[in-house]
Amino acid sequence: MLGGIPGRTVLSETRVVNGFLRLIPNKAHVAIVGHRGWPARHPDNTLSGLVAASNVADLVEVDVRRSRDGKLVLSHDPEIDGHVVSETLWSLLSEIDLGGMHHPALLDDALASLPTTPVQMEIKNLPFEPGFEPDHRLALEAAERSRPGDMVTGFNPETLIAVRQVFPEVPTGLAVSSGTSLDEVVNHCLDVGHRALVPHHSLLTEPVNAEIELYPWTVNSLSRAGELVEMGVTGIITDDPGLIREAIRGEER
């Protein structure tokens, strides 16, 4: 396994299983990733949720879209409260109450609020959604903001290739849904030079024999989290980073 990479699973214990010497993941080194912050307690992609998650998680994940006036807005869906992000000015989006007086956030503000917490920036740039950018400018602008430990991820392979070409020093990770051929996407990631694969957790049924980081999503089951730890994943993306942290590491925070 590669050393010196934040969040990388460290295999440091050996055990004889069925007559073979097996490496067992060190649970303390499986990264906990707050999915859009801490949705189990806060509205997702809000500064309050991201900051709260940073107190229990090793990394946080956010979704990035562009507003009508060019702002990099955090939003999983193409719309926020009925307003299409790519067609709406930030001045309007910023006033939307997401619940409990929480409001949408900008990527710049999120990064400033998380000075020591690595961020996985998932770029929402798909051809069938509003705001698609064929030149992948959204991803490039996010990558330009990347700090040591941050990563640019997304479901559009072409978008990530563009990042690799312009910012080869910025780590990238391909996100894939269930029903995808795991072998094919692993080989694609290795060929392109992605550091990570971000698969739906159902794709992982056994350890992946490849030099690539694995961040399965979205894992809220304690038993499933335990199975993934045993498979040697690098990190676990979850809606409840506090719960998963306690279950994996026995640390309540």
Q: What is the pLDDT of residues 34-72, one digit of tens each?
A: 999 999 999 999 999 999 999 999 999 999 999 999 999
Which residues, at least 6 apart from 220, have a Cβ–Cβ distance to it below 8 Å? 40, 238, 239, 240, 243, 244
Q: What is the pLDDT of residues 63-109, one digit of tens each?
A: 999 999 999 999 999 999 999 999 999 999 999 999 999 999 999 99
Q: Residue 156 — very low, low, confident or very high, per pLDDT cuts 50/70/90? A: very high
- Residue 2 has a pLDDT of 29
Residue 1 has pLDDT above 50, yes or no: no
Domains of the chain: 28-249 (3.20.20.190)
pTM comes to 0.89
Q: Residue 26 — very low, low, confident or very high, per pLDDT cuts 50/70/90? A: low
Q: Please list the residues that pair with 60 across neighbouring strands.
A: 34, 119
- Residue 253 has a pLDDT of 57
User: 247 by DSSP, 3-state: which?
Assistant: helix
Phi, then psi, of 65 in degrees rounded to 5: -130, 170
Q: Please list the residues that pair with 196 across neighbouring strands.
A: 173, 213
Single-letter code of the amino acid located at 102: H
Round to whole Å and give the CA distance between 144 and 10: 29
Given a contact cutoff of 8 angstroms between Cβ atoms, the answer to whether 235 and 59 are in contact is: yes
Q: Residue 249 — very low, low, confident or very high, per pLDDT cuts 50/70/90? A: confident
